[in-house]
Structure 1
Amino acid sequence: MKKLLLFVLGISFCFFLVTISFEYFLRAIPNDFKTKQYHLRKNKENIEVLILGSSHTFVGVDPKYFEKPAFNLAYSSQTLDLDEKLFNRYKNQLTQLKTVIIPVSYFSYVLALEDGTSAHKIKNYNIYYQLYSHTFKIENQLEIAHQSFDKNLADLELFKSNPDFKITIDSTGYINKRYIKSNLDWQESAIHAVNNHSKNMDDNLTKLRMNQNQKSLENIISWCEENQIKVILVSSPTTDAYVKKLNAKQFNYWRMTTHAISKKYQNVIWLNFLENNELFTLDDFQNADHLNENGAEKMSIILNQYL
């Protein structure tokens, strides 16, 4: 019996060591989260403009077109509660910060990351920023538990030949590798995006998210106001196909809430390109609600005028 127990303990210990080693090597693979963290810390004493938010700013606001040193801390599907947590992590380190840019999109108030189709991305905030979401799942705490064993092995093999295969950003945090769908059906793209971005406004979880996200946004703004930092709220332009399919109740809530916040705080200006997208054409978009490189250049040059 004692020998059996020792055997089981030995096997368990070996399994534990292999698992820990596997997790260590998976986390050693460079990715956007680790890379952004490195560049932000490296340049924290020079950054005057911080860009937060979701994919609308991640792909739509390029710091290289700003006259002032800027950094893009946005990620695809990043929600306002995560904006607040990231901002709180770094705000006191950014000693030269003058302006914060925050996207306020049609979906900004009603979503938390774990509520949508991108819930798997929570893992990156948990592991690489130690920022935790509203719900706990073991697969979001470990790289090894996040995808299949075969896929993890494939990632390690690819890492040998291409160490930067997971990095899509430059030193300013802005995306420099885009995956653009050819022969895009604009109507289909709009339907898909609106379905992902719309919520039942009478649902209790949606109401909870609305309160949480508005509070997160106002917490950022209040701190900035106390520290003489300007906040630019940006509602990114989208295609007309996207706008025409938006839910009226959610759309009106978005408009009224953002308008009220922009009037409440003296340090805030709101640039509403969602309703005023005349400066942008279909050639500026990579899909129904995201700007392409040309559109991002145009948007960034416009924003630079307000800095």
Structure 2
Amino acid sequence: MEVLYRRIPNDYSFKAQYLNEHAGEIETLLLGNSHNYYGLDPNYFHDYNTFNAAYIVQRTYMDLEILKKYKNELTNLKTIVIPIIPMELYFQKIEDAPFFYNPSIHKYRIYYDLDIPWTYGDYFEINSKMFLLRNMANTLTNYYLRHIPQTSSSELGWGTNFRWEDARDLALTGRETARQHEQISFPEYELEKGIAYNKQILESIIKIGQEKGVMVYLYSPPIYKSYRELIDDERVNRAIGVFQELDSTYANCVYENYYDDESFVSKDFYDADHLSDLGAQKLSKIIDLRLRGRRKNFEEQVN
């Protein structure tokens, strides 16, 4: 069963294979979690070859490990794009966060062969904590008997299944996500520990970019007001201050904030903290335009 399951193409294996085969062609690499996976479509990035290597619940720790693995193969890389909402600066270490937030981390071992410091099902799907015989049987049946693809990524890695006509309740998902983000954050008395941990990872990514002459573009994506209204303003402002500090400290780092951008309206959202396909088209065009200007300025500074 394990062998048959692993032979089924999935989004992890697809992205790892793309990087293995095309890393040297990539000029703009989109990393990060579902905000980039669903929010940025490479088809709208025109000046540079772009690939979306982001995925659902892909923490910056995994981004760093992906960069470490492929940094020598990314010979034409010019820009790294990573989304980060303010609350992410307080998230717990991957090995400490509740299981529901890291159910698929073993897949980075299996399909990317990354050295993730957490024995989470080790190297086997069937031993992972998210394993359910019924789920695995359904996947096997759907793929081998019904010929239903088990991937949702476009050929350039964008998540295609958050369509605006299928959007979820924005008020409900705002409450759910705000509560979830509180659960996976460091407790109030350890917030500085969370800041130090997550900032260090971002700095490690920026320094890899420094070594390669690569610009790192950090941005806070648009989030619907039903979520923002439930998040403490002091934490938000503290986090944005840290992101701006990274921008001013490192010449190759840029931070821009779209967190409360009111030009993104309800139809642009699939749920309270993810864009729909319509919102993704809008944001992709904005980020593409911003990157072209920022990249030109960066190259002038370097040269």
Report TM bin, short chain. Answer: 0.7 to 0.9
Tell me which amino acid in the other structure corresponds to 1:93.
Answer: E
The match for 1:71 is 51
Q: Deviations over 1:131-166 (max 9, x none)?
A: 2444323x3531112323343233222221345532
Tell me which amino acid in the other structure corresponds to 1:110.
Answer: Y
Instruction: Please state if 1:135 is matched with 2:118.
Output: yes
User: Residue 175 of structure 1 aligns to a residue in which SS?
Assistant: coil
Q: Deviations over 1:224-254 (max 9, x none)?
A: 1232211111100011221111123432331
RMSD between aligned alpha carbons?
A: 2.1
The match for 2:150 is 166
Q: Deviations over 1:205-225 (max 9, x none)?
A: x65443232111111111212
Counterpart pick for 2:198 among 185, 199, 213 = 213
User: Residue 269 of structure 1 aligns to a residue in which SS?
Assistant: strand
CA distance in 2, matches of 1:244, 1:86: 34
Equivalent pair of 2:162/2:275 in contact (CA under 8 Å): no
Counterpart pick for 1:46 among 16, 25, 36 = 25
Aligned residue pairs, count? 283
The match for 1:101 is 81
Tell me which amino acid in the other structure corresponds to 2:203.
Answer: E
Give matches, 1:1-307, under 5 Å: 22-67=1-46, 68-111=48-91, 112-114=93-95, 115-116=97-98, 117-137=100-120, 139-146=121-128, 147-163=131-147, 165-178=149-162, 182=166, 184-198=168-182, 199-204=185-190, 207-275=192-260, 277-305=261-289, 306-307=291-292
CA distance in 2, matches of 1:188, 1:141: 36
CA distance in 2, matches of 1:185, 1:158: 29
% of aligned pairs identical? 27
Q: CA deviation at 1:182?
A: 4.9
CA distance in 2, matches of 1:129, 1:208: 29
Which ranges in structure 2 are unaligned for 5 or more consecutive residues? 293-303
CA distance in 2, matches of 1:290, 1:158: 27
User: Residue 254 of structure 1 aligns to a residue in which SS?
Assistant: helix
Tell me which amino acid in the other structure corresponds to 2:151.
Answer: I
Q: CA deviation at 1:203?
A: 4.8
User: Residue 270 of structure 1 aligns to a residue in which SS?
Assistant: strand
Q: CA deviation at 1:278?
A: 2.6
CA distance in 1, matches of 2:118, 2:163: 30
CA distance in 2, matches of 1:216, 1:254: 14
Quick check: 45-54 or 145-154, which moved more? 145-154
**Which protein shows a greater Rg?**
1
CA distance in 2, matches of 1:123, 1:203: 30
Q: CA deviation at 1:106?
A: 2.1
Tell me which amino acid in the other structure corresponds to 1:221.
Answer: I
